[in-house]
Amino acid sequence: MANLDCLRAVAVGLVFSGHLLATMRIRGSGDIGHFGVLLFFVHTSLVLMMSMERLGLSRRKLYATFMIRRIFRIYPLNILCVIAVVTFRIPSTSWLGGYRWDGWSTLISNVFLTQNLTQSRSVDCVLWSLPFEMQMYAILPLLFGWALRLRSLAGLTCIWLAAAMIAGSEYNIRSGSSTTDFLLVRYFPCFVAGAIAWWLLRTRERHFPGWAWPIFLILLVLLYRLVDALRVYGPGTLMAARGSLRNDQLIWWPPYFDLVRDWLFCAVTGLTIPLCFEIRSRWITSASNGIARYSYGIYVSHVPILWLCFVWLPIGPPLVNAVIAVLLTTAVSMLLYHSLEDPAIRIGKRLAMRLVRGHVHSLEFS
Find all residues with CB under 8 Å of 245, minimum gap 6, and list them: 27, 28, 30, 229, 232, 233
What is the arithmetic mean of pLDDT over 310-334?
Answer: 95
* pLDDT band at residue 365 using 50, 70 and 90 as cut-offs: very low
What does the pLDDT look like over 262-289, one tens digit per residue? 999 999 999 999 999 999 999 999 999 9
Residues in the chain: 366
Dist. CA 310–CA 126, nearest whole Å: 18
Instruction: Give the H/E segment covering residue 264.
Output: helix 256-272
What's the structural domain count of the chain? 1
* pLDDT band at residue 177 using 50, 70 and 90 as cut-offs: low
What is the secondary structure of 111-154 as a DSSP string?
A: HHT-HHHHTPPPSSGGGGHHHHHHHHHTTHHHHHHHHHH--SHH
CB burial of residue 281 (10 Å; 0-12, 13-18, 19+) = middle
**Structural domain span for residue 173:** 2-364
Helix (H, G, I), strand (E, B) or coil at 331: helix
Find all residues with CB under 8 Å of 60, minimum gap 6, and list them: none
What is the secondary structure of 192-206 as a DSSP string?
A: HHHHHHHHHHHHS--
Dist. CA 216–CA 269, nearest whole Å: 9
Helix (H, G, I), strand (E, B) or coil at 106: helix
Residue 180 confidence (pLDDT): 72
Dist. CA 129–CA 106, nearest whole Å: 16
Helices then strands, counting H and E runs in the chain, come out as: 16, 0
Cα→Cα distances 110→26, 125, 135, 168, 275, Å: 30, 11, 14, 26, 38
Q: Pick the more confident residue, 242 or 169.
A: 169
Cα→Cα distances 244→31, 219, 228, Å: 15, 21, 14
What does the pLDDT look like over 289-299, one tens digit per residue? 999 999 999 99
Task: Using alpha carbons, select from 341, 364, 338, 319 the residue that is nearest to residue 23.
Answer: 319
What is the arithmetic mean of pLDDT over 12-31?
Answer: 91
What does the pLDDT look like over 339-348, one tens digit per residue? 999 999 999 9
Residue 363 confidence (pLDDT): 33
Most confident of 59-63, 144-148, 319-323: 319-323
Q: Pick the more confident residue, 107 or 234.
A: 107
Half-sphere exposure (CA, 13 Å, Cβ side) for 171?
Answer: 18
Sign of the Cα pseudo-torsion (66, 71, 73, 74, in order): positive
DSSP conformational letter for 204:
S
Dist. CA 13–CA 79, nearest whole Å: 23
Q: For residue 138, which phi and psi values (nearest 5 degrees)? A: -65, -25
Q: Is the Cβ–Cβ distance between 332 and 305 less than 8 Å?
A: yes
Q: For residue 355, which phi and psi values (nearest 5 degrees)? A: -65, -45
For the ranges 29-33, 67-71, 277-281, the lowest mean pLDDT is seen at: 29-33
* pLDDT band at residue 111 using 50, 70 and 90 as cut-offs: very high
Q: Is the Cβ–Cβ distance between 355 and 71 less than 8 Å?
A: no
Mean pLDDT value across the chain: 89
